[in-house]
Structure 1
Amino acid sequence: MVYTSTGSSRRSASSGKSMAGVGRAGFIRDPSGLLMSIIRTLASSKDGHQREYEKERLEEAFGENDEKLDELVADNYEELAVSIKQFGKIGDRISDSRQRIKRVKESLQQCKSLLYCRQDELRKLWIEGVEHKKVLFLLGQIELVKEAPQAIDGFLRKKHYLHATELLRQTLQALSGELMKVEALQDIRNELISKKLTMHDGFINELHRQIYTNSINSKKKENRSMEGSKVKVERRSSTDEDGGIGKFDDRVLQLEQLDLDPNEDPFKLMTVLVESLARLQRIPEMIEATKTRMDRHINALITHTTVEVTDLAFHDENKESENPKRLLQLLTSLFDKFHCIVAAHSHVLSVLREVVSEVKPPIVLYDIEAVWAKIQSVIEMLLHEYLDADNVAASSQQLGFSEGGSLSSHFARKKVSRQRVAKLFRFDGSSHAISMNNYLREQRAQRRTHSIGGGTSPLLDHALSTQKVCKPNPRNITVIFGPLKKFISEIETGSAYSSGKKCPLHDYITDYVQDVFIRQIQYELKKDFDAAMKVTDPLKLSADQSTLKSLGSYRSLLQSTVVADQCMWFLYDLTCSLDSYHDHFLTMACSLLQEYKEMSIQSYRGVVQPESEDQQIVSASWVRDADVNDMLRNLDNWKVAYGGKAQNLHSVDDNFTQEARFFLEKFGDESLGKNSLVEDHSDLKAIASLHESLEWMTSRLHKFISSIKKYAPPDTMQMLQNLAQDYKRMSEICLLCLHIELRLLCFYHLAPMFKNNSYDIRGVDSMEHDFQITKLTKDIASVDENLSGALQQEKYNYIFEGLGHQTAAILIHGAKHIKRISPSGVKKMCRNVFTLQQSLTNITSSRESHLDEARQYYEMMYLMPDDLQAQVVEQGVRYQTENYVEALNLLHRSKPGSGNEQTQSARVQRLRAIVTEQTFKKEHADEMQRLYEI
């Protein structure tokens, strides 16, 4: 608001005082308060000046209010004019209405007086109207009753079961009431009563079809939990009057919408069927039929699913009837269907609980645990058949497996009782049966292709209902155990089993695996082991090439090793497939590997430890010698044999020389008998095959150990690692035995060639090499023939390389046993060396230079005793001091007139001094050469 300057100055002069009831803008807030304030002010004023001042203030305030009122009127003139005009019209209408109400009251009073005069006539007319209305209602009801059977049939054809039920109930109620005495409706009444008596059977059949068929094929399974809540409305008693036939309550109208297809939602249709049976008061019959027919429906479901799987398998490229994956496909399909069936039963039970909640006396319902129990019993029968439990259990009992005792006892030889008599004839594989089965499959396939619902003829389905998706076999459990275990867990979770309690199917599978399947596996492993190990000579029975190719191995492996490996990995597959029982299978694997180790040791001892007490294979005894083992394992050629690298070629050559000297010192001048060696060289091949097999088995066992880490406990892992070490040690023992055996063979043939022998040859016919050389070359060639295909190249080289060093050492060492030697004898000895060198060169493809040294050693026998010292100075030291001394002694024995014993002793001392001096010079030169290179 706008204030005047005069008013503002005056309010300033009044030191902020204001009149009571007057606001800052000068408006009167409360007239009564203002008036009382003015009266108090005037009454308390002492002079006229104060009264004049109050008067001026009032005049000023009224003046401001007049100005503001004029301004507001000017600003809102049009709205104010319209409001006044409308107010005037409203006032006129109110006055007009009062006049008309007054006239109506007068008219009503007049009508009341007139009606009172005609009261009897009006009552008569009202009674006649009521009678005519009732007659018309009854005639309408009669028309509806006449149309009811046809309408009910129409509802049933369209699967609007609740409408049909409610219409039937209403019609029968009407026929039992006011229309009872209408004789013309008696036939209709009898027809509807007959429908009521039989309709519930159709509803029950349809409910079962929805539970066991449509609930599986429906695409709206995921919305089943929501549908129950959507159809819940306030329930009304089925006996309430709805005002006549054909008038349905809200629950009927919401459960069944006539413009929708009931087949689109089977769960809603189940609700409709249960509600319909409740209105027909047939819930007890429905519950009893559901419990009675459950077994039959589930068996029919299994039969139809089996037919589907066999039809799909018929068109598959892999038509092997033993394929267990078909059983897995069957069970997977059945598990999905069983879940749908259980969900359908759960929905039906929820509707039943709602329906029977108000029924007196209460009706006893079945529970979902009964459904799971029936499903489990049917699955048990199915598994019992496909796992061949009866035949396997009977065979395991005949085999006499006992729960007590060690697991290794299952691999011991036992007397097998008579097997069950097998069927002599089967006709399911005949040409007639095959052609008929193919024809029936084609017929079903055509029906499924050309029909919307995919339904097939029950007769055609029954024709193949006795067929199996695969042959019964206890090993089928390995394929189905994982999905079966998951299904069992879902059952126990859904059924809310208490802690520690298991479902019957879980107990059945546990009993089958522990009491039947594991026994059968033990029997099969025992039979395979008996076939591979309990033969005449298991070390000479090698695996065929196709088996080796499948294993990716190019080495010669024993059949027993391949069988042991297959059994080990078969148990690994069982461990992975039946992971709940991995302890059983890993224990069996440990027992199996331990058994095979013992059998391998026995087979090895059968070769190297003959039954005769006076016969002892020297190589086998040397292998057990710690000194021999340590010496051979520390050499570079041993490292090279196992994939290592030598320091240089000179180190390998030095190792061969060191090894030859070691064997020469250990053997000494002893003589070997024929029984001290392995006579049959095929036995050496058997040892070589055992070595390769055990080494390959060691690598396979390490792979097995790394694969079972997540299953095996620490003690089992430690046991398997110990077995792997035992296999490795046994394979090394076999290789060392071969290595030593071949060198002892050289001692056996060459040592007798020198003892008490004289090479003082005079005739020309005696220049051919010795027969011992011939025998040795033949034996070496025979050993090479047996070992060439049985060993890897590195191991083969380890056996044969160094033989030249060993034979050269034996030949040089044998010089001290020769009585005398002539130039012709030297030639003969050189021929011996050449023959050996040629034979070994053909095997090792190397020059065998150490045999050249042996030949040069005997060529020194052409010299005179004094010339030997000069040759050592000229050519350097090539042999050991004792070899030079023995050569000098042989020259003295072979050349008469060389001097007496004193002369010989002096020459020996001189020769020792020369060899020592030359050796020192050579070592000094080598040392200076190394320093120069550095």
Structure 2
Amino acid sequence: MATCVRVLCVLLAEPFLSFALASEDTTMSWTSKMKTKRQAEVGYTIPKPAECEPELTTVNLRQSEDLSLYYIPSCTRIQKCGGCCGNFGNKKCQPVEVEPLRLKVTVKRYLGKRKWKTLPPEFVNEERHIRCECGCIVKESDCNPLQEYSKNECQCKCTNKDEKQKCDADTQNKRWSQTTCSCECRNTMLCASGFTFNNVTCSCEEERLSLRRGAEYPVTMSLSSPPTKPPRGVKTRETSGLLMTVIRTLSTSESNEQREFEKAKLEREYKKSDQQLNELVSEHKQELTQVMQLFGKISNNITTTRDKLRGMKVILIACKTLLSCRREELKKLWLEGVEHKHILKLLEEIEQLKDVPSKLGSHLANKEYLDATKLLVSALNVGDGALEGVEALRELKNELHHKKERLFVLTLREISRIVFLEPSKIIRDSRESGSFRGKSKWCRRLLDASQNNSSGLKDIVKEHNFEEELSDLAECLGLLKKLPDAATSIKNNLQPDVYGVVDRVTKAVLQLLLDDYLDIQNTATETRQTLAYQDRIEDVSLYFSRRRIQRNRDTSLFKFEQSSIFTSHLMDQGAPSLSLTSYASDKQRDKKLVCSPDPNNITVIITPLLKFVEEVEAMNGVTCTLNSFINDYIKNVFLSREFARIKKLVEGATKSSDAWRTPTAPHVTAELNLGRPLLKSTLQVSTAVRDLEVLLDTLPCHKPDALEILIKLIKNYTETCGAAYRGIVHPGPEDKTLCSVSWLKDEDISRFLKSLPNWLNLQSQKPLQRLGRPLKREDTGEDESPEEVRQRNIKEAEILLGNLTEGGQHEIISDLQQLKSLGLLQESMEWFAWRMLQIANKSKRYSNDSNANLLSDYTKTLSDLSVEFEELANTCLLMLHLEVRVQCFHYLLPKHNSYGKTKMSCQDPDPRVLELSRVLISIDEALNSSLQTRKIKYIFEGLGYLISKILMSTIKQMNQVDDVLIHKMCRNIFTLQQTLTNITMARDLSLDHARNYFQLFFLSPEEIINEMFEKRPDYSKAEITSVFKLISLSRSRRILSKRQCAVNLRMTGCQSCVD
């Protein structure tokens, strides 16, 4: 028992001794550190913290591990985020704003013997970091459902603390995982056969028992009571007295025998105590283990807490020392704060000064002269006040003074405009708006005012707030302190301003003369009448249907204002006529003109008239109003009239019932040097566009306006052509789509057809065909070998056969007139695309330094429109190419296993084959009158390979075969081969391949194998397998049962031959 007491005393005293030693060591280490710091104050370097910001980082540009490749350069430096983020390691410098980079790297391959080969350059995609911030490494998305995210600590914390406490109770076998927030076994092991590892007991158990224990273990754990502390021995008076008696006996005994007796007695007691202690330890082993573990945890927590308290104590002492030592520095920082506050105020004033030019510009643009003056004066006062000595603001101050002088000039110019220009401008505008002298109250009032010393003119001027504007301008001059200078300037410029009024009146007379010769009054009236009924109310549902939109009949409505009843009523009332035309006609009776009035006269007189205007402007040095008058007339009146006229012509040509079916006459086709006719509507649109081309030559200063009208008309025509194409290929209901249209919408099929050599050769022949030069063999690009042509056609047939879906009569175009219309649309769109390209190339020659950028934009738009017409033409041609193949699928594919059940003679072809031959011949005749020969060749080229594939694929649909059926199939092939020969004028060898395939059914299996070994025909394994299977099905069951093994052997030999 004494030994136990000594052990417990040592255990209880150990933490206090360790704390004392630790405190002493900490004090010594702090003292030594302070001493070392004082000794090392001379010659040290304070490192600069690495802030989180973009910095140059080496990036590897090598993309391949091949050592024979050399990359130039192999690496580079790019701005990447780098730097430190705190002392705890839970944050990282991360990019906030990045810029993508595409780096071009030169690649060379070393071939040996000092030879190099330059390879195509490679492009490496990288990112340049523009702005960086410190962010948490662990994000909120990294937490699982049992965790919650702490933004301050940048980590995921477990929320199931009760489970953690239960897990910490069994630290010998279990441990708590902060990652998964679950209790895991410390050691896992591989169990023998029949045993499984139990994650609850952390041991290997039998499979049956493990299930039972796994279900019962939580109940057992929940019922088990927590370990209890064993009761301590009661320190009685008798026990302490016994100890004191032993000590007294040992100290007062005189003989060794008595000491030996006490010693033996004490040893017996010790042994007895040890035995009892061992029994108690073995009995309460689990409780002692838990107590020791808890004691160890408590000791660790106490040690950790003492370390933290010790660190806090050191930090507080250091803070106290620093505060006492840096009192002066704090005072200095306070003074710097006051100074920075004043500097911040100055910086705000500087920022306001920097914004003054932009605000001043906006005020001047809105003609807010008073606000601009107040802003400028206040800015100058600030600049001359506290910021007077700032050298960095010298340029800004100079700019503000320059703005002040410019504002003074603008104010004087505005005063001159109000005094000398506005009154005459108001009178001129009222006259140009249609109110002539003696025909309105305003004119009569103006006439009376002019006869009474112009006293009434002041009232007219007041209506426009001229006095208020002049008052504001005078206030501006007063704020600028420029009133004397303004009075002197106005006095000096008085005579030139009066001369300017006289000059403007003279030019107005010339404008009246042009009104007569250009017939502006009637032209303006016609334009207004055209635009008045331009926005008609139509049925909106027509634009969402696939039917053709009916022709619009532009019929003008009845105008009551032009009726005789209304005119007589006005005459009875004594009112003047409201029609400008009647006044103009009365005016023309008194004048004799050199030529009849016509708006097109402007195209003849524009060049000498502009020269006259240039001479006048050169003499006076100011802009002539006659120039503005001419430009306004051409842009607002003449070009608008031409646009309305040409638009009406285009609508009349495209909205007729037969606009997309009527071709041009033969003599017109010959005049245009075309091989095939075009749509009559397309030629009419081209004629209308040619009128706008003439305006590009006759109106050199208005080429952008003419090009804008041209582009607007062509865009409308593009939409009309697209609607016409959709009306041709979608003749039926909306829920029934043509099979060829579905294939054409498939990007893979369309891309494949456009990548074939026959399509590329066809596209390369277009430039030579437009030049009118006959095509030679070297121009056609026909350099494919027969084997390449065969492989290309076979691949096309396989792709179309793989995308085939079962459909009915609605999936083909039965009306040949639609195919002919599609051919005419293809030729017309291709020719019109060439015309647009001509206009685009011609407009490039018109560009000069003043309008080069604008004309380049219009030229690019014309080129894009040409590409759209070209794409529509290509779509029509591909549509015809696919439609012919869909016809073959429709007539040749068996319907409900029709092959093998016919009772007709073997000498007669199948009715569907005859129908297909008739359809192909009809399509050829229809397209010959609308498409060029090279395009027809493209449509029918490779059709034999497709028919061959379709016929050979019908073997899979047959249940039996006989000689009559084989003869009939060969007859079908012969009929189709004759049809294709008549169309293409060349024998199609691909159908011979199909006929030889069907003739294999006349042979026995042994003969087929021998022929394959000798001739090795080009048949696939699936095709040969279908032959053997069909031959086997055609024989009787008896023969099949006897020779089944032989047939399997033949099949194996045939497959080896094919492989």
Output the TM-score relative to the length of structure 2: 0.44
Higher strand share: 2
Higher helix proportion, which one?
Answer: 1
Q: TM-score, normalised by structure 1?
A: 0.49
Higher RCO, Cα 8 Å, sep 6+: 1
Larger Rg: 1
